């Protein structure tokens, strides 16, 4: 694991200070600091043995950064300098929106978790597209897209189509977010019939965009960890029938035992981090069993250390994404995971 030099030393010293600030201002301050120091970072070395090919894309190694950290693509180069193989921007909506009222991000330090009810706060698809065109990051650029809060569910496909059109030339893959608990009714779109309607529209439009841009951009869907077994089986059947290129599992949870009171105190939202570790692992195993060995799966949710990462790959994940583990542990977590994956088995 490379230390990252002086930038890494400063980052490790700053982490305890940032964690004493309110979560959302601390997040913004950390991103600005990364932007200022990005040229000083030395990312951890990743052996070519860790390279992964999934849904037609080449990843330098399995570990990326999940959506939600850089909602607008403003910090793609700074985050890429840390050594992630891919960074997923967003969730982006067609029009800018402020999200839910603050405070809307909460730490559960005793559980190494976060509660968020952000509500897709972002500057809109035009802004994200401009930022991605400007960025120099050479890794894989994912874009999570969603619907505006004031768009009726029956017109949700229009919002996903608008994002697809505006961002097609700058994305390496799209994550269709139908699983955030923080936009009213959104999770209803995970039902097989609703998902079919959205993806058939997207697939038809993509044929036109493929020809226009002379490139093919894969479509993935991001799902909830709170699906019942029957719902998950129906979803697997729909994913295969629709010929989607991959699935991202999972988003945050609203149903983790023992945290009901904490969620109520926060005014709702979804939990990420260590309490989600086993739930996300279980969903991954069910997906792999239902989708077969070839269907690409990105596993996210509760990856807090190298052992968690290794468990996900052993359970059939092709790629991994960090979020809450990165919030609590910073860039050293990426180096720890890559070092463990590159070490010969004992």
Q: What does the pLDDT look like over 283-338, one tens digit per residue?
A: 999 999 999 999 999 999 999 999 999 999 999 999 999 999 999 998 889 999 99
5 within a domain of the structure (yes/no): no
186 within a domain of the structure (yes/no): yes
* Mean pLDDT score, 168-194: 83
Structure tokens at 222: 């991001």
Catalytic site includes residue 180: yes
Give the CATH number of the domain where residue 121 resides.
3.20.20.70
Q: How many domains does the chain have?
A: 1
Residues 38-71 have pLDDT tens digits of 776 777 777 889 999 999 999 999 999 999 999 9
Q: Looking at 85, 144, 180, 272, which residue is catalytic?
A: 180
The predicted model scores a pTM of 0.91
211 within a domain of the structure (yes/no): yes
* Mean pLDDT score, 177-201: 80
Domain ranges, residue 180: 47-341
pLDDT at 179: 78
* Cβ 341 vs Cβ 309: under 8 Å: yes
Buried b (16+ CB within 10 A) or exposed e, 214-231: eeebbbbbbbbbbbeeee
> Could you tell me what percent of the chain has a pLDDT over 90?
68
272 within a domain of the structure (yes/no): yes
pLDDT at 8: 54
Please give the Cα distance from 297 to 63 (Å, whole number).
Answer: 13
């Amino acid at each position: 694991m490379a230390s990252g030099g002086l930038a890494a030393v400063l980052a490790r010293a700053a982490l305890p200070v940032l964690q004493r600030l309110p979560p959302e201002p601390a997040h913004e301050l950390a991103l600005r600091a990364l932007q200022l120091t990005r040229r000083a970072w030395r990312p951890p070395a990743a052996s070519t043995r860790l390279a992964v090919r999934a849904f037609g894309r080449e990843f330098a190694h399995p570990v990326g950064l999940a959506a939600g950290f850089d909602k607008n693509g403003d910090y793609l180069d700074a985050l890429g300098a840390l050594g992630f193989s891919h960074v997923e921007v967003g969730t982006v909506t067609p029009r800018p929106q402020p999200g839910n009222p603050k405070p809307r991000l909460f730490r559960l330090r005793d559980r190494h978790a976060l509660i968020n009810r952000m509500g897709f706060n972002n500057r809109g698809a035009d802004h994200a597209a401009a930022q991605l065109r400007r960025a120099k990051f050479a890794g894989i650029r994912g874009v999570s897209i969603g619907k505006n809060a004031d768009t009726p569910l029956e017109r949700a496909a229009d919002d996903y189509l608008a994002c697809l059109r505006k961002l097609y030339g700058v994305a390496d893959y799209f994550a269709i977010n139908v699983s955030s608990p923080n936009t009213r009714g959104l999770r209803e779109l995970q039902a097989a019939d609703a998902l079919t309607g959205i993806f058939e529209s997207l697939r038809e439009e993509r044929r036109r965009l493929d020809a226009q841009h002379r490139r093919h951009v894969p479509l993935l869907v991001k799902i909830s960890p709170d699906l019942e077994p029957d719902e998950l089986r129906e979803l697997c059947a729909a994913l295969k029938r629709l010929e989607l290129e991959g699935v991202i599992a999972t988003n945050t949870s609203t149903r983790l035992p023992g945290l009901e009171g904490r969620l109520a105190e926060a005014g709702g939202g979804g939990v990420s981090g260590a309490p989600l570790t086993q739930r996300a692992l279980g969903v991954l195993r069910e997906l792999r069993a239902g989708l077969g060995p070839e269907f690409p799966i990105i596993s996210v949710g509760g990856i807090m250390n190298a052992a968690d990462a290794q468990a996900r790959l052993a359970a059939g994940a092709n790629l991994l994404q960090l979020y809450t583990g990165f919030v609590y542990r910073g860039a050293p977590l990426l180096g720890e995971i890559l070092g463990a994956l590159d070490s010969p088995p004992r």
